[in-house]
C-alpha cells in the first residue's frame, strides 16, 4: 500500500515506475551468505558495509538516485515524483537499504539549504556512496538536551580546532565526513553559541571507538576529538547559526521533509505483511496464532494505524486539510511511526512464545531471531533523533503552544 | 519453514490502501463550504445553545433544522435528479467534522443514514417519491437500526416482514429522534433475505417510546413495530447493506473527529491557562504528553476519515475497509481524549459547568454506534487472515 496516488500517475511516470521495478528486480543482489544489518544503525563488519555500498553505487550508476538533488551537484535534477517512485520500488522489492542514509536524507538536504557552491559539490560522492557521512550531535552529557553540548571548536588562523567527545555516532567507523555541531562561543546563551561544520573524519586527533549495542552488534561509535583541525571552509551557514542549521537537519531526520513520511509508511506496511505471515506460521495452544482472537485484534489495530499513517503522509502535502495545525502531522511522524514499529516488534516477540528465547546464530531461532533483534533495535528509533518524550515536548510546545516544560 | 518475505499469499493486495487522489480531491469549493458551515454552526450551535437544548424536551431546534434543509445540507451528496446537490463524500465528511466540533443537536446523522439507505436500495421510482421531501426538510426520516440483541452484522437482523402482506414486526432501539420522525428506514428480514424497508410513522402498529439518552444532544427512542405497513426498497441494483452501513461509519467517524478536535481544544486551553504550584499545569509533562497523544490519535483518525470519504468516490471496493478503520481509530481516540479531557480539567472537569462532559457523553454514544472498535477490528482481522 502506501501509494495513494499511484493510479493517477501520468503515462510517463507509469513507464518510469515499470522500468524502475524491472531494474530493481533484475539487479537486486542475492543474500550474501552472511548476516546483513537490519538498518543503517547496525552496520558492523567491512563485508556488510562493502555489500551495501556496492548496492548504493549500482543504484546511483543506473541513474535512479538523486531525484532530490540538482544536476550540477551530481543529482538527477529535482523531481519529487521520480524520487518517490524510486524509494517506493526499492521498498516494494525489499532491496537492501541505501547505506549512506545520514548523507542522503539529513546532511544532503541541509547542505542544499545552507551550503556554499563548493560544499554542495560534496553531494555527488555522497549519492554514489564514495563518501559516507555520519552525524556528530549527541554527547555523553548532551542527549535530549542537545543544546548543552560541550565539544568546542576554537578559531585558528587557518580554520578551526575541535576538542570534545561525541557519542552514538552511527557509521563513524566508515565515514569520510561528519556533520558536526560544536560550541564556538561559550559566553553567549547556549543556543547562540553553536556552529555547524562539515568535518573531514580522516584528520589527526580524531579517534573512533566502537560501541556495542544491547544486541551485541556494533555499528555505532564514540568519537574523540583532541585538537583536531578543520579548514575555514568547514563551516556550514554562519558562525553562531549552528542551532538553526541543526534544527533543519533534525526536521529531515524526524521525517518532516516532503515525501519521507510517505516512504516510511510504505515501509511500515511491508513490516505488517511480515508480521501477518509470522502469525500464520506460528502456533500457540495447539492452533495457529492467526486463529487466536486476541492476537488478531492487535494485528488489526496495527493495520488500521499503518493505513492511517500512510494517508496522513499524503495529507501532509494538502494545506487545506491541515488548517488546524499546519505542521502537526509532519512533526508527529517520527514519534508515531517509531512507537508503532516498537509495538509491532514486541507483538511479534509475543507470537513466538518460548521461541523468542532463541537468539542470533541459534539454528532453530525463528526468522534468524530477527524479531527479538528488531524489538531491541526499535529503541534506536524511539530514542535516536530525539526521544519520544522530547518529541512530545516539541509537539506540545511548538504545535499545541503549551507552556514550556523547563 | 515458510519465508515471510514471499508474496504469493495475496497479502499485498489485501493490505493496500484505497486508491484516492493525492490531494484527497480537496478543492477551493470544499474550503468555501467548510467556512460557510463553520460560520453557521458558530451561531446556531454555540455551547450556550447546546446547553439549552440539552435540557429541552425535544432536543433540537426545529428552526435550525429548517435552515439546514434550506442550506442544502440534507441533499448535499444526493444525486441531482432526486433533489440533491450531488457533491462528493469529502464535502459531507468536512461538514460532519464541523458539526462534531459544535456537538450540533440535530437529527442530521440519522436522516443522512436513512437517505443513504433509500438511495442505495430504492428503485428509481422510490427515490423520486421519497428523497425530495426528505431533502427539502418537509419530512423527517431516520434509521431504525439496532435491536435489543445488539449486533452490527446485517444478517443478524430479527425484525421480520411477512412475505405476503409486507407487515413489519420487531423492536428497534436507539432510534435517533424517533419521536419526531415521519419515516423510518428499517433493515428487516423476509425469510432469510435481509433488506431495507420504509415504514411511515403515525400508524397504530408503530409504537414510539422515548429513551433517556446518555448524550443529551442525541435523543433516541425505542420503536416497536407490531405488524406495521412497510414498503420494500426494491431497486434492482441495490447495494449490500454492509456498504450502506460503511457510509454511516465514515460519516460518524468524521463527526467524531470534529468532536475530538473540540475536546483537544478545551483541554489544551485549560492546561495552558490553569496555574498550580506557581506554574501553568500544561508545563508539566504528565499533563502535556497525554494532550500530545490525543493530537496524534486525532490526526491519524482524521486522515483515515477523510481517506474513507474519498475512497467512496474511487469505487475500487476498498472504501468499506477504510471506513471501518476510520471508525476504529476515531472510537479509540475519542474515548482517550474525553477520558483525559475530564481528568486533566481536575475538579472542574467533574462538574456540569465544564463543557467537556458533553463531549464525553457523545463519545460514549458514538463509540457504541455502528460497531465499536472491537467489532471493526474483528472484521479487519478476518480480512487479513481468513481470505482464501
DSSP assignments along A123-186, one per residue? HHHHHTTSS-EEEE--BTTBSSSGGG---EEEEETTEEEEEEEEEEEETGGG-SEEEEEEES-T
Domain CATH for A65: 1.10.540.10
Strands of A185-328, DSSP E: 194-200, 206-211, 220-231, 235-236, 283-284, 287-288
Both A233 and A267 in a single domain?
no
Both A358 and A387 in a single domain?
yes
Total beta-carbon pairs less than 8 A apart between chain A and chain B: 188
Both A277 and A395 in a single domain?
yes
Which pLDDT value is given to residue A44?
87
Mutation for A interface: B259, B385, B388, most A CBs within 10 A? B385
Both A265 and A218 in a single domain?
no
Determine the distance in angstroms separating the CA of A266 from the nearest CA of chain B, rounded to an integer: 10
Domain CATH for A155: 2.40.110.10
Pick the residue from chain B with its C-alpha nearest to A371: B4
Q: Do B22 and A304 touch (CB under 8 A)?
A: no
Asked whether this complex has an ipTM greater than 0.90, the answer is: yes
Assign A311 a pLDDT band (cuts: 50, 70, 90): very high
The DSSP secondary structure of B300-364, one letter per residue, reads HHHHHHHHHHHHHHH-SS-HHHHHHHHHHHHHHHHHHHHHHHHHHTHHHHTSTTSTHHHHHHHHH
Nearest CB to B280: which of A310, A325, A403? A403
Q: Do A321 and B24 touch (CB under 8 A)?
A: yes
Residues of A within 8 A of B280 (CB-CB) are 402-403
Q: Do B15 and A335 touch (CB under 8 A)?
A: no
Residues of A within 8 A of B278 (CB-CB) are none
Indicate the average pLDDT of chain B: 95
Residues of B within 8 A of A6 (CB-CB) are 19
Write out pLDDT tens, residues A267-290.
788 899 999 999 999 999 999 999
Residue A114 lies in a domain: no
Pick the residue from chain A with its C-alpha nearest to B26: A320
State percent of chain B over pLDDT 90: 88
Write out pLDDT tens, residues B75-107.
999 999 999 999 999 999 999 999 999 999 999
Which pLDDT value is given to residue A204?
97
Assign B153 a pLDDT band (cuts: 50, 70, 90): confident
Which pLDDT value is given to residue A4?
43
Domain CATH for A367: 1.20.140.10
Nearest CB to A405: which of B12, B288, B301? B288
Q: With a cut of 70, say whether residue A210 has pLDDT above it.
A: yes
Which pLDDT value is given to residue A2?
39
Residue A112 lies in a domain: no
Assign B300 a pLDDT band (cuts: 50, 70, 90): very high
Nearest CB to B381: which of A6, A300, A310? A300
Pick the residue from chain A with its C-alpha nearest to B295: A328
Residue A376 lies in a domain: yes
Q: Do A404 and B374 touch (CB under 8 A)?
A: no
Backbone φ/ψ region at B225: left (φ over 0), alpha (ψ -120 to 50), beta: beta
Q: Do A405 and B283 touch (CB under 8 A)?
A: yes
Pick the residue from chain A with its C-alpha nearest to B97: A321
Domain closes at, from A78, A99, A120:
A99
Domain closes at, from A185, A210, A238:
A238
Q: Do A305 and B279 touch (CB under 8 A)?
A: no
Determine the distance in angstroms separating the CA of B25 from the nearest CA of chain A, rounded to an integer: 10
* Cα–Cα distance measured from residue B386 to residue A290, given in angstroms and rounded to the nearest whole number: 9
Nearest CB to A402: which of B4, B288, B307? B288
Q: Do A332 and B296 touch (CB under 8 A)?
A: yes
Residue A202 DSSP class: S
Both A258 and A395 in a single domain?
yes
Q: Is residue A38 a contact partner of residue A377, using CB atoms and an 8 Å limit?
A: yes
Task: Please count the structural domains in chain A.
Answer: 3
Both A232 and A301 in a single domain?
no
Backbone φ/ψ region at A40: left (φ over 0), alpha (ψ -120 to 50), beta: alpha
Residue A213 lies in a domain: yes
Over range B57-61, report the average pLDDT: 95
Q: With a cut of 70, say whether residue A46 has pLDDT above it.
A: yes
Determine the distance in angstroms separating the CA of B234 from the nearest CA of chain A, rounded to an integer: 35
Range of the domain at A352: 254-399
Between helices B89-102 and B285-314, what is the axis angle to 10°? 150
Q: With a cut of 80, say whether residue B3 has pLDDT above it.
A: no
Distances (CA, A) of A382 to A336, A378, A391: 9, 7, 9
Both A80 and A217 in a single domain?
no
Q: With a cut of 70, say whether residue B127 has pLDDT above it.
A: yes
> Which residues of A are tagged catalytic?
253
* Cα–Cα distance measured from residue B110 to residue B178, given in angstroms and rounded to the nearest whole number: 9
The dihedral of CA A304, A5, A323, B111: what is its sign?
negative
Which pLDDT value is given to residue A3?
43
Residue A247 lies in a domain: no
Mutation for B interface: A94, A299, A308, A355, most B CBs within 10 A? A308
Both A262 and A378 in a single domain?
yes
Which pLDDT value is given to residue B273?
97
Q: Do B295 and A400 touch (CB under 8 A)?
A: yes
Q: With a cut of 60, say whether residue B19 has pLDDT above it.
A: yes
Nearest CB to B300: which of A308, A392, A404? A308
Q: With a cut of 70, say whether residue B359 has pLDDT above it.
A: yes
Both A153 and A233 in a single domain?
yes
State percent of chain A over pLDDT 70: 95
Domain closes at, from A169, A203, A238:
A238
Which pLDDT value is given to residue B216?
96
Both A198 and A259 in a single domain?
no
Pick the residue from chain B with its C-alpha nearest to A297: B377
Q: With a cut of 70, say whether residue A6 has pLDDT above it.
A: no
Nearest CB to B304: which of A301, A308, A393? A308
Pick the residue from chain A with its C-alpha nearest to B286: A405
Both A149 and A212 in a single domain?
yes
Residue A12 lies in a domain: yes
Over range A19-47, report the average pLDDT: 90
Residue A350 lies in a domain: yes
Alpha helices in A291-353 (DSSP H): 293-315, 328-352
Q: Do A314 and B24 touch (CB under 8 A)?
A: yes
Range 297-336 of B in CB contact (< 8 A) with A? 299-304, 306-307, 322, 324-325, 328-329
Assign A8 a pLDDT band (cuts: 50, 70, 90): low
Range 21-50 of B in CB contact (< 8 A) with A? 21-24, 26, 30-31
Residue A305 lies in a domain: yes
Return the biggest CA–CA distance within chain B. Answer: 76
Both A373 and A270 in a single domain?
yes
Write out pLDDT tens, residues A91-146.
888 899 999 999 998 999 999 999 999 999 999 999 999 999 999 999 999 888 89
How many Cβ atoms are within 10 Å of A157's Cβ, its own excluded? 5
Which pLDDT value is given to residue A39?
82
The dihedral of CA A180, A181, A187, A192: what is its sign?
positive
Kindly report the pTM of this predicted structure. 0.90
Over range A255-270, report the average pLDDT: 67
Amino acid at each position: 500500500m502506501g501509494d495513494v496516488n499511484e493510479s493517477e500517475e501520468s503515462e510517463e511516470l507509469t513507464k518510469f515506475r515499470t522500468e524502475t521495478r524491472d531494474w530493481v528486480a533484475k539487479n537486486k543482489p542475492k543474500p550474501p551468505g552472511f548476516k546483513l544489518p537490519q538498518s543503517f544503525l547496525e552496520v558492523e563488519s567491512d563485508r556488510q558495509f562493502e555489500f551495501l555500498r556496492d548496492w548504493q553505487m549500482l543504484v546511483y550508476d543506473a541513474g535512479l538516485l538523486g531525484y532530490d538533488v540538482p544536476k550540477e551537484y551530481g543529482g538527477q535534477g529535482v523531481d519529487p515524483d521520480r524520487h518517490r517512485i524510486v524509494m517506493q520500488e526499492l521498498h516494494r522489492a525489499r532491496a537492501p537499504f541505501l547505506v549512506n542514509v545520514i548523507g542522503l536524507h539529513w546532511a544532503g538536504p541541509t547542505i542544499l539549504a545552507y551550503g556554499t557552491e563548493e560544499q554542495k559539490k560534496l553531494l555527488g560522492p555522497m549519492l554514489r556512496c564514495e563518501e559516507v557521512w555520519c552525524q556528530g550531535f549527541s554527547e555523553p552529557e548532551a542527549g535530549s538536551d542537545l543544546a548543552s553540548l560541550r565539544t568546542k571548536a576554537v578559531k585558528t588562523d587557518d580554520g578551526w580546532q575541535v576538542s570534545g567527545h561525541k557519542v552514538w555516532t552511527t557509521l563513524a567507523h566508515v565515514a569520510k565526513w561528519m556533520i558536526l555541531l560544536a560550541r564556538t562561543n561559550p559566553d553567549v546563551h547556549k543556543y547562540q553559541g553553536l556552529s555547524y561544520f562539515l568535518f573531514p573524519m580522516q584528520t589527526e586527533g580524531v579517534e573512533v571507538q566502537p560501541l556495542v549495542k544491547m544486541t551485541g552488534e556494533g555499528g555505532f561509535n564514540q568519537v574523540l576529538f583532541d585538537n583536531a583541525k578543520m579548514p575555514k571552509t568547514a563551516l556550514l551557514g554562519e558562525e553562531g547559526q549552528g542551532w538553526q542549521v541543526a534544527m533543519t537537519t533534525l526536521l529531515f531526520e524526524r521525517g518532516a521533509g516532503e515525501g519521507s513520511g510517505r516512504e516510511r509508511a510504505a515501509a511500515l506496511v511491508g513490516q505488517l505483511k511480515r508480521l501477518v505471515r509470522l502469525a500464520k506460521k506460528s502456533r500457540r495452544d495447539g492452533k495457529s496464532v492467526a486463529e487466536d482472537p486476541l492476537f488478531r485484534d492487535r494485528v488489526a489495530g496495527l493495520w488500521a494505524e499503518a493505513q492511517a499513517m500512510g494517508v496522513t503522509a499524503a495529507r501532509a502535502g494538502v494545506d487545506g486539510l491541515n488548517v488546524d495545525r499546519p505542521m502537526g502531522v509532519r512533526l508527529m511522524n517520527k514519534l508515531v511511526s517509531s512507537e508503532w514499529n516498537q509495538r509491532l516488534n514486541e507483538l511479534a516477540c509475543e507470537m513466538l512464545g518460548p521461541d523468542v528465547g532463541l537468539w542470533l546464530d541459534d539454528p532453530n531461532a525463528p526468522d534468524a531471531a530477527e524479531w527479538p533483534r528488531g524489538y531491541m533495535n526499535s529503541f534506536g528509533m524511539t530514542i535516536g533523533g530525539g526521544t519520544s518524550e522530547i518529541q512530545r515536548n516539541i509537539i506540545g510546545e511548538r504545535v499545541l503552544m503549551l507552556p514550556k516544560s523547563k | 519453514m515458510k519465508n515471510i518475505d514471499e508474496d504469493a499469499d495475496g497479502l499485498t493486495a489485501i493490505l493496500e490502501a484505497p486508491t484516492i487522489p493525492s490531494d484527497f480531491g480537496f478543492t477551493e469549493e470544499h474550503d468555501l463550504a467548510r467556512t460557510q458551515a463553520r460560520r453557521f454552526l458558530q451561531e446556531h450551535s454555540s455551547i450556550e445553545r447546546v446547553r439549552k437544548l440539552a435540557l429541552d424536551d425535544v432536543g433540537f431546534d426545529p428552526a435550525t433544522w429548517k435552515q439546514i434543509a434550506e442550506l442544502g445540507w440534507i441533499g448535499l451528496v444526493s444525486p441531482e435528479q432526486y433533489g440533491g446537490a450531488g457533491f462528493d463524500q469529502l464535502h459531507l465528511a468536512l461538514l460532519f467534522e464541523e458539526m462534531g466540533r459544535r456537538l450540533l443537536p440535530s437529527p442530521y446523522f440519522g436522516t443522512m443514514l436513512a437517505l443513504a439507505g433509500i438511495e442505495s436500495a430504492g428503485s428509481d421510482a422510490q427515490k423520486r417519491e421519497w428523497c425530495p421531501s426528505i431533502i427539502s426538510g418537509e419530512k423527517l426520516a431516520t434509521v431504525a437500526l439496532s435491536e435489543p440483541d445488539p449486533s452490527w452484522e446485517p444478517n443478524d437482523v430479527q425484525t421480520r416482514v411477512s412475505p405476503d402482506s409486507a407487515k413489519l414486526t420487531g423492536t428497534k432501539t436507539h432510534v435517533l429522534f424517533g419521536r419526531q420522525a415521519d419515516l423510518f428506514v428499517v433493515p428487516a428480514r423476509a425469510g432469510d433475505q435481509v433488506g431495507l424497508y420504509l415504514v411511515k410513522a403515525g400508524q397504530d402498529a408503530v409504537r414510539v417510546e422515548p429513551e433517556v439518552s446518555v448524550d443529551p444532544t442525541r435523543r433516541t427512542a425505542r420503536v416497536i413495530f407490531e405488524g406495521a405497513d412497510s414498503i420494500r426498497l426494491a431497486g434492482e441494483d441495490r447495494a449490500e447493506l454492509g456498504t450502506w452501513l460503511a457510509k454511516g461509519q465514515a460519516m460518524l467517524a468524521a463527526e467524531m473527529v470534529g468532536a475530538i478536535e473540540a475536546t483537544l481544544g478545551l483541554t489544551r486551553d485549560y492546561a495552558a491557562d490553569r496555574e498550580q504550584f506557581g506554574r501553568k499545569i500544561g508545563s508539566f509533562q504528565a499533563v502535556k504528553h497525554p494532550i500530545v497523544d490525543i493530537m496524534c490519535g486525532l490526526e491519524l483518525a482524521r486522515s483515515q476519515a477523510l481517506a474513507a470519504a474519498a475512497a467512496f468516490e474511487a469505487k475500487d471496493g476498498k472504501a468499506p475497509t477504510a471506513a471501518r478503520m476510520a471508525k476504529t481509530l476515531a472510537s479509540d481516540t475519542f474515548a482517550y481524549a474525553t477520558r483525559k479531557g475530564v481528568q486533566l480539567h481536575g475538579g472542574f472537569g467533574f462538574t456540569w459547568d465544564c463543557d467537556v462532559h458533553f463531549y464525553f457523553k457523545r463519545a460514549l454514544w458514538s463509540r457504541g454506534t455502528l460497531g465499536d472498535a472491537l467489532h471493526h477490528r474483528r472484521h479487519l482481522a478476518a480480512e487479513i487472515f481468513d481470505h482464501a
